[in-house]
Amino acid sequence: MVKSSAGFAAGYRTTMPSDQIALETFDLGYAYAPGRFAIRHLDIDLHRGEVLGLLGRNGAGKTTTVRLLTTLLPPTEGTAVVLGQDVRYGGRALRSRLGVVLQAESLDFVTVERNLTLYAFLWGVPREVAKTRAEEMIELFELGEARRRKPWALSGGERRRFQVARELMHDMEILFLDEPTVGLDAIARRRILRYLKERARHGLSIVFTTHILHEADMLCDRIAVFHLGQLLALDTAEELKRKHAGAREVSVTFTAPPAPEVRTELARELEARGAVLLERVEDLGAPETKVAFLAPHAEELLPWLSHWAQSHSLELERMSVEEATLEAAFLGMIGDLDSTPTDEAKGRLRPSGALPPGRIGGLT
């Protein structure tokens, strides 16, 4: 099945045979009250073995999207096809092929170890397989000391690790992770991300929501950026950075401080090229060797700077351009929009972070 990009989505959607597509959405939307949408006009896809990151502010629609794709919420507009099945009718058969780590902590009142085996039992995993997997998960997620403790006696990080570990007790084709690394230390986070990357390499498709942008940068093959319930962009991290990271910091160091009038001239020239100086005008007279500024097309300025220095008989010691970050790209996309929401978006706004009141739907 081939699909074209639509709506706000600025990224690419590759032509893929349907058996290589894990999920696709078609103008997907969910209204929690008439005319009040948590998510709307969503067109995304996920390939087999791909990691798709969902980024956005609190309340942007990421969790609603996960709940729609995992059949926890029925779409009120459009639809989604997950593993070849329409989410509206997939029911149990579809859910049995998915894994879901919810944002909310969910637990049973037994020890960590028993929680793991009990969850595997719920999924129909044979007892011996469950025992082996529980040991693997306890080892992988460093839950050895906590294995005999009940979940409420765990730290926040341990609980989150436990929750991810528990979901990996059963087989699945797509894993949905809603902010799985909240509260984890850097080492635990890297360990989990490495493991997920490895699983993706072996064919597991992953949908991953996070607020930690460098995490998304590290793990995700593509990233969908949400804002006020709409998809702003769907692309690789590199493309998002290239298109949206905006101005980057450039610093130039001369071997000797330029004369104040030369620094002022440089400032004027840079500003004429769209750069913004990172020091006050009155400080330009100080005997500084360094000039720092923000420039939208930083790389393009470097040859000009080199030429300008030469023409003023100044020797350059060092020139550096700050690396484009996903955070800068994200802020570039969200920042401006956030201050001027459209009328439609204003009508949809709900308290930041609040989940839309979802109705469960039929007893299917």
Partner 1 sequence: MKLPPLLRLVVRNFASNLDPLTIIIRFGQPVITIVVLGTMFSSIISTNVTGGGSYTAFLVPGMIAFQMITGGVVSGNLFWLDRRWAMVEQIFSGPFRRSEYLGGLVLTTLLFALVGVGIMMLVGLPFIGIPSLSPLGVATVLLTVALGSVFFAGLLIALGTRLRSANAYFTIQSFLQLFVIFLSTVYYPITSNTPKALAVVFYVNPLTYAADTIRDAFGGTLGIADLESLGVLGALAVVAFGAAIWGFRTMELGPIQ
Q: Which of 10, 16, 31, 107 binds partner 1 (CB under 8 A)?
A: 107
Q: Is 364 among the residues that bind partner 1 (CB under 8 A)?
A: yes
Alpha helices in 98-222 (DSSP H): 112-122, 127-140, 156-167, 186-201, 213-219
CA distance 147 to 162: 9
Give the nearest distance from C-beta 225 to partner 1 in angstroms: 24
Q: In angstroms, how far is CA 61 from the centroid of its own chain?
A: 12
Question: Taking contact as CB under 8 A, which single stretch among the options 94-102, 199-207, 224-232, 300-308 is the one that binds partner 1?
Answer: 94-102
Residues of 71-108 as b/e, b for ≥16 C-beta within 10 angstroms? Answer: bbbbbbebbbbbbebebbebeeebbebbbbbbbeeebe
Residue with Cβ nearer partner 1 (122 or 278): 122
Q: Which of 2, 14, 18, 91 binds partner 1 (CB under 8 A)?
A: 91
Q: Is 31 among the residues that bind partner 1 (CB under 8 A)?
A: no
Q: Which of 88, 95, 191, 199 binds partner 1 (CB under 8 A)?
A: 95
Give the nearest distance from C-beta 273 to partner 1 in angstroms: 50
Sign of the torsion angle spanned by Cα atoms 277, 278, 279, 285: negative
Tokens of 191: 């360990």
Question: Taking contact as CB under 8 A, which single stretch among the options 87-95, 250-258, 281-289, 298-306 is the one that binds partner 1?
Answer: 87-95
Nearest to 115 by CA among 86, 146, 81, 93: 146
Mask 211-250, x = binds partner 1 (CB under 8 A)? ----------------------------------------
Q: Is 41 among the residues that bind partner 1 (CB under 8 A)?
A: no
Nearest to 177 by CA among 147, 204, 217: 204
Question: Taking contact as CB under 8 A, which single stretch among the options 141-149, 235-243, 326-334, 354-362 is the one that binds partner 1?
Answer: 354-362
Secondary structure of residue 291 in the 3-state scheme = strand
Q: Is 171 among the residues that bind partner 1 (CB under 8 A)?
A: no
User: What is the DSSP-derived secondary structure letter of residue 183?
Assistant: T
Contact 101, 164 (CB under 8 A): yes
Q: Which of 5, 85, 106, 251 binds partner 1 (CB under 8 A)?
A: 106
Give the nearest distance from C-beta 355 to partner 1 in angstroms: 4
Residue with Cβ nearer partner 1 (44 or 69): 69
User: What is the DSSP-derived secondary structure letter of residue 170?
Assistant: S
Secondary structure of residue 182 in the 3-state scheme = coil
Give the nearest distance from C-beta 77 to partner 1 in angstroms: 19
Give the nearest distance from C-beta 263 to partner 1 in angstroms: 56
Give the nearest distance from C-beta 341 to partner 1 in angstroms: 24
Nearest to 232 by CA among 66, 58, 240, 177: 240
Q: Is 96 among the residues that bind partner 1 (CB under 8 A)?
A: yes
If you write DSSP's letter for every residue of 227-289 in order, what string do you get?
Answer: ETTEEEEEE-HHHHHHHH---EEEEEEESSPPPHHHHHHHHHHHHHTT-EESS-GGGGGS--S
Give the nearest distance from C-beta 282 to partner 1 in angstroms: 52
Mask 46-85, x = binds partner 1 (CB under 8 A)? ---------------------x--xxxx------------
What residues line the site for partner 1 (CB under 8 A)? 67, 70-73, 91-92, 95-96, 98, 100, 102, 104-110, 114, 118, 121-124, 126, 355, 357-364
